[in-house]
Structure 1
C-alpha cells in the first residue's frame, strides 16, 4: 500500500496537510507521517472548526483532520476522520501531537478503519500562554502518524526456483535436447532457455537447424559445465563453480548470461592471490569484466615484487611480446 499522487485539490478556506514520509517498519506494518500547519492561528475565533482537505493514504483509504478551537480553559482537539472506498477493514494506530510541545507525549488510539477518533492535544490557555514557543510565527503545527497493520495471514515463501529446477531434473514436458562436448544429452525447454538467454532466443525464434531438429550441439563444453549453466538458467541460483570456473565463465559469456558472469567474477575475486593475479587479469580482459580487471590491476600494483616472479605473470608477458 503506497500513498497516491498528485494530491487532491483543496478549498481555499482549508488548511493544507503535507505528506512527510512513509516507511515499512517490518513485514506487518506501514507507517505514514504527515504535518498539518495552520497559518495565522491566533486569528481563529473560539469554537471554530478548521478542516484539512482529504488526503489519500492508500488506494483504499483517505482521511481528513478537523481542528476544533475550544473555549478558554478547554482542550484543543483534533478529529481524525477516515474514509474507506473498499469493503476491507484496516486496523491501525493513529498518533497525533504538537511537535513544539515537549512536555506532552504523543496521543494515540487503535482504530479499525473507517472508525474515527478524537484527540485532546493541549489546554487552550496553555497554548495561549506559551504562544511564543508553541505558535512560532503564529503557526500551529500538528503532526499525525498513521500505522497500518497488514494482514497477519502468513504468505508462503516462493517455490518458483524449486519448481523450475524440478522441470530440469525430471525432464518434464521437455522439447529440446542439448548434446554436450563429451557426448552426453540433457533435455530442456525452449521457452525457459529463450526467456533467460538472448542467444537461445535468437536460435529458437528464427528458422534454424537446432529449432527444426529440436537438438542443440554444444561442442565447447562438457556435461558438468552445461549442467551447472542450465541449473542457473532454471533457478537463478549460484551454481557449483569450484572445479569448472573458467569453463563456466566462458559459457556464461557465450550465452550472454550477465548475472552468471558476475557470479563467476565474484568467485574469482574471492580467490585473488599473487599466484593467480595475472591469470585473473587475462580472464577479465578476455571477457570484458571491468570491475574484476581493475581489482586485479590494483592487486598487482601493490604486490608487483611477488607477482613478477610467478609463472602466470611470465607467461602473460610472453604472450604480450
Structure 2
C-alpha cells in the first residue's frame, strides 16, 4: 500500500534548475523571419548622456545554426566635433556564431521605428549582405541605416521602439531550392516557345517564356496566348500581348510566375498589384499587399487606399484605414486639401473618402505595454 511521505526533514527547494533556450526547426530556413523589438527607455535622456547605446545580445537559432546579434546606436559628428543626436545611426552587428557546417549565407534585414501617433511601424528599405558563417565570437558590423527620430516616435513614456526583421538564407539551401531551379530555367532560352510583347525600353531584351509555365500559373494569361508562326523563330509557337505594360514591370511579373519572388518589390508593388488581381495570382497579391503595408506613410496612404479599393484588396484596404486612425497629420491633410490624392479620392470615390474621414479618432489599438530599459520582445 502507498505510504504517506515523511514530513520531518524538508529538502531546500531549488528555485532555478537550469535554463531554456529556443531553436527553430523548419524544412527551409529561408522561410523564417526573426522579428525583434528594442525599446529604448527615456530616449532623449538616454542618448544625451551616452556616446553610444547598445541593445542586449539576442540569439537567432535555426536548424542547428545559432547566430548572436545586437543593435547599436551611434552618432554623426558635426563640423565642430560635437555629436549630432538626430538623425542617428542604427547598426546591426553579428556578435558570434555557432555552427557545425561553415559556409556562406545571405542575410536580409530591415529596420523600423514605431510611430506612436498612428500606431504603425515606419520601415526602412530591405538590405542584403553575404556573410561567411563559421564558429566565431568576433564582432562584425553587418550594416547600418540613418534614422531621424521625431516627436511622433516618442510614446507616452518618452520611449522609442526600434524593430529589426532578420532573415538568414544559407547558400546551399538556396542553390537547391525549387525557386532557384526555376530561376535557372528562366535564364535558359533554347526550349522557350512563347514571346511576350511589351512596351520596350532602351536596349531591353526580348522576353521569352515557357507556355506550360504560363498555363500552369495563370488561367487568365493562358487564355491570352495566341498562336504564332515565323520562319525566323521556328521554336516560338505562341505570343502573349502585354504591350500596355513597361518591359521592367513585365520582367518582374515573369520572375514571380517562375520563382514566387520579385526583385525590388518596393519599387514595383503598386504596379504589380493590379496585374496580380487581373491575372489571378493570389500569391503575388499577398506579396504586394505586405510590401505596400510596410511602406505606408501619411503622404502615401491615400494613394494606397485608392489602389486597395480599386483592386478589391480588403486586407490592404482595412490596414490603410486603420493607419488613418488618430493621425493628426493625415486629418489635417484631408481637411485643408493639402494633398492631391485626397482631393482625387473625394471626387472619384466619395464613399471611400467618407469612410476614411470617419476613421479619424476611432482607433481601438493600444501601445505595447511598457517594458524594462533596453528589453527585447518578440
Return the TM-score normalized by structure 2: 0.40
Greater radius of gyration (CA): 1
Where relative contact order (Cα < 8 A, 6+ residues apart) is larger, the structure is 2
Return the TM-score normalized by structure 1: 0.47
